[in-house]
C-alpha cells in the first residue's frame, strides 16, 4: 500500500499517547451514545404512535381531514362507507371503531382501555391470537385482550375473566399479540364493531375510520379525488404514518426537544474531540516536522492526519453504538413499556455526525501540520 508506512507511524503516534487517545474515544463514544439514545427514544415514540395503523394493516385509511393521530378520530357518517363501497376500483371497504372506555375490574378498580371495534362480517384487522378462538368474538359480551406491556394493568386476565364496561358485562374470550404496543399506556381490547358502538357512548356518527383496498395503484388517485369531493381524505398506510410523524415532530414539543438534545450531543462530542485532537497535534508538532525533514510530503502527512481522525471517530462510533444497544436492551428487558428502539435512520444520522466531527477535527490538525517548517523544528 502506498501510504502503509506513514499510516503505521500515525497509528503508533495516536495509540502511544494513551491519555489523549482515551479522551478522544470517550468524547466521541458518549456523543454517539447521546445522539443515538435521543433519536432512538423518538423512533420508539413514533413506532408506538403508528401502532393502530401497523396492527390493523389496512392499505387505505379514510378519515376526517382534521385527524392527525389514530386515537383522535372524528366520527364519520354512514353514507361515506356506502359511497366508498360504490366507487370503481374499490375491492372492499369496512368500518372501524377506535375509542376509549373505563373498565371496572373484579376487585372494583377502574382502568382506562382502548377499544377497537372490527367489522362484524370480515373482522378485518383482527390480531393474531395466542389463546382462544377468533370466532368466539361473536359470542355475547366477548372481547379479546392484547398481551402487551400494558396487559398487567388488567391484572393479567385469562380466558373467562369478566369485567364491567359502562354497566355492560364483558368477558375475555381470547388473548392476542400485536406488532406494536400503544403509545398512551393503556391496555387494548378488540371486539366487533356493533358491540363497540353499543357499549361505548358515541355521537350520532359512529365510524372512526373507513378501511379500504383498491384493485390497483392506477385507481388510487381517482378514489382519493372522489373522497376529497365528499369532504374527507383518503391516505395510504405510509401516508397516514407520515402524517402522524409530522404531527409529533412539528406540532408537539417532542420533536423539538429531541432535536435540541441531539444537537447538544453533537456539539459536546465535537468540542471534546476537536480540542483534544488539536492538542494532540500541537504536542507532536516536532514529530511531524521531523517527518517533513526526512522527506515526507505534505499530502502524506495530510493523509496520516485524516487516517488518525477517521480511525478514532469510527472506533468511538462502534463503542457508542455498542453502549447504547446494551443500555436499550437492558432497559427494555427490565422495563416492559420502554419505547426506545434503534433504526437504520438514527444509526445513519449518528454516523453522519461522527464523520462531520472527524472532518472538522482533522481540518484544524491539517492546517497546523501544513504550516510546519522543518527548519523551525530543528532550530528550536
Residues 25 and 313 sit within 8 Å (Cβ to Cβ)? no
What pLDDT is stored for residue 34 in this prediction? 83
14 CA to centre of own chain: 37
The residue behind cell 432497559 is: 331
Q: Do 136 and 203 sit in the same domain of this protein?
A: yes
Pairing mode, strands 209-214 and 60-63: antiparallel
Could you tell me if residue 244 is inside a domain? no
Sign, Cα dihedral of 200, 204, 209, 211 = positive
Could you tell me if residue 270 is inside a domain? yes
Could you tell me if residue 237 is inside a domain? no
Spell out the residues 6+ positions from residue 244 whose beta carbon is closer than 8 angstroms to its own. 46, 49, 50, 53, 68, 69, 70
Residues 337 and 180 sit within 8 Å (Cβ to Cβ)? no
Q: Do 133 and 206 sit in the same domain of this protein?
A: yes
Could you tell me if residue 247 is inside a domain? no
Pairing mode, strands 110-118 and 188-192: parallel
Residues 350 and 317 sit within 8 Å (Cβ to Cβ)? yes
- How far apart, in whole angstroms, are the C-alpha atoms of residue 29 and residue 31? 5
Strand partners, 133: none
Residues 329 and 248 sit within 8 Å (Cβ to Cβ)? no
Comparing CA positions, the residue from 284, 274, 250 lying closest to residue 13 is 284
- The DSSP string of 4-37 is HHHHHHHHHHHHHSHHHHHHHHHHHHHHHHHHHH
Q: Do 84 and 30 sit in the same domain of this protein?
A: no
Q: Do 36 and 77 sit in the same domain of this protein?
A: no
Q: Do 106 and 207 sit in the same domain of this protein?
A: yes
Q: Do 12 and 112 sit in the same domain of this protein?
A: no
Could you tell me if residue 57 is inside a domain? no
What pLDDT is stored for residue 38 in this prediction? 83
**Long-range contacts (CB closer than 8 Å, 24 or more residues apart) made by 280-283:** 280/14, 280/17, 280/20, 280/24, 280/365, 281/305, 281/364, 281/365, 281/368, 281/369, 282/368, 283/17, 283/20
C-alpha cell at 139: 359470542
Could you tell me if residue 246 is inside a domain? no
Show the 3-state SS of 260-324: HHHHHHHHHHHHHHHHHHHHHHHHCHHHHHHHHHCCCCHHHHHHHHHHHHHHHHHHHHHHHHHHH
Q: Do 215 and 308 sit in the same domain of this protein?
A: no
Q: Do 225 and 292 sit in the same domain of this protein?
A: no
Report the domain count for the chain: 2
- pTM for the model: 0.79
Comparing CA positions, the residue from 59, 49, 50 lying closest to residue 210 is 59
Could you tell me if residue 352 is inside a domain? yes
Q: Which domain holds residue 175?
A: 65-231
- The DSSP string of 74-126 is --B-HHHHHHHHTSTTEEEEEEEEEEEEEEE-TTS-EEEEEEEEEPTTT-TTP
User: What is the three-class DSSP state of 207?
Assistant: strand
What pLDDT is stored for residue 237 in this prediction? 93
User: What is the three-class DSSP state of 380?
Assistant: coil
Q: Do 227 and 259 sit in the same domain of this protein?
A: no
- How far apart, in whole angstroms, are the C-alpha atoms of residue 211 and residue 122? 12
Could you tell me if residue 242 is inside a domain? no
> Could you tell me how many residues make up the chain?
380
Q: Do 199 and 95 sit in the same domain of this protein?
A: yes
Residues 136 and 182 sit within 8 Å (Cβ to Cβ)? no
Per-residue pLDDT tens, the chain, 380 aa: give them: 466 677 787 778 777 778 777 878 888 888 888 888 888 888 888 888 888 898 998 999 999 999 998 888 899 999 999 999 999 989 999 999 999 888 888 888 888 899 999 999 999 999 999 999 999 999 999 999 999 888 888 888 999 999 998 888 999 999 999 888 877 788 999 999 999 999 998 888 999 999 999 988 888 999 999 999 999 999 999 999 999 988 888 887 777 787 787 788 777 777 777 777 777 777 777 777 777 777 667 777 778 778 888 888 888 889 989 999 999 888 888 877 777 888 888 888 888 888 887 787 777 777 777 776 665 555 55
Q: Do 34 and 172 sit in the same domain of this protein?
A: no
Q: Do 96 and 203 sit in the same domain of this protein?
A: yes
C-alpha cell at 188: 387494548
Amino acid at each position: 500500500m502506498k501510504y502503509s508506512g506513514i499510516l503505521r507511524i500515525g497509528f503508533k503516534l495516536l495509540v502511544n499517547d494513551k491519555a489523549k487517545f482515551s479522551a478522544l474515544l470517550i468524547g466521541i463514544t458518549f456523543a454517539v451514545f447521546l445522539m443515538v439514545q435521543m433519536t432512538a427514544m423518538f423512533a420508539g415514540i413514533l413506532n408506538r404512535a403508528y401502532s393502530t395503523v401497523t396492527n390493523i394493516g389496512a392499505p387505505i385509511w379514510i378519515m376526517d381531514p382534521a385527524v392527525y393521530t389514530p386515537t383522535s378520530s372524528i366520527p364519520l357518517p354512514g353514507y361515506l362507507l356506502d359511497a366508498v363501497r360504490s366507487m370503481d376500483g374499490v375491492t372492499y371497504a369496512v368500518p372501524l371503531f377506535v375509542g376509549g372506555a373505563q373498565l371496572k375490574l373484579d376487585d372494583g378498580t377502574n382502568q382506562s382501555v382502548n377499544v377497537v371495534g372490527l367489522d362484524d362480517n370480515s373482522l378485518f384487522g383482527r390480531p393474531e391470537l395466542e389463546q382462544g378462538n377468533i370466532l368466539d368474538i361473536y359470542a355475547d359480551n366477548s372481547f379479546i385482550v392484547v398481551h402487551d406491556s400494558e396487559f398487567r394493568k388488567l391484572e393479567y386476565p385469562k380466558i373467562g375473566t369478566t369485567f364491567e364496561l359502562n354497566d355492560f358485562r364483558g368477558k375475555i374470550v381470547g388473548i392476542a399479540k400485536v406488532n406494536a404496543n400503544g403509545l398512551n399506556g393503556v391496555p387494548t381490547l378488540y371486539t366487533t364493531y356493533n358491540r363497540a358502538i353499543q357499549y361505548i357512548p358515541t355521537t350520532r356518527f359512529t365510524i372512526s375510520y373507513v378501511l379500504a383496498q383498491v384493485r390497483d395503484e392506477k385507481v388510487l388517485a381517482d378514489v382519493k379525488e372522489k373522497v376529497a369531493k365528499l369532504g374527507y381524505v383518503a391516505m395510504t398506510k405510509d401516508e397516514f404514518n407520515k402524517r402522524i410523524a409530522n404531527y409529533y415532530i412539528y406540532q408537539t414539543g417532542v420533536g423539538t426537544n429531541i432535536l435540541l438534545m441531539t444537537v447538544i450531543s453533537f456539539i459536546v462530542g465535537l468540542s471534546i474531540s476537536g480540542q483534544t485532537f488539536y492538542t494532540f497535534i500541537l504536542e507532536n508538532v516536532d514529530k511531524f516536522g521531523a517527518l517533513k525533514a526526512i522527506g515526507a510530503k505534505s499530502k502524506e502527512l495530510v493523509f496520516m492526519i485524516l487516517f488518525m481522525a477517521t480511525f478514532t471517530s469510527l472506533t468511538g462510533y462502534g463503542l457508542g453504538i455498542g453502549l447504547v444497544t446494551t443500555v436499550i436492551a437492558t432497559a427494555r428487558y427490565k422495563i416492559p413499556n420502554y419505547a426506545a428502539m434503534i433504526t437504520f435512520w438514527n444509526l445513519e444520522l449518528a454516523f453522519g455526525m461522527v464523520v462531520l466531527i472527524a472532518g472538522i477535527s482533522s481540518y484544524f490538525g491539517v492546517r497546523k501540520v501544513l504550516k510546519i517548517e522543518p527548519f523551525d523544528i530543528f532550530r528550536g
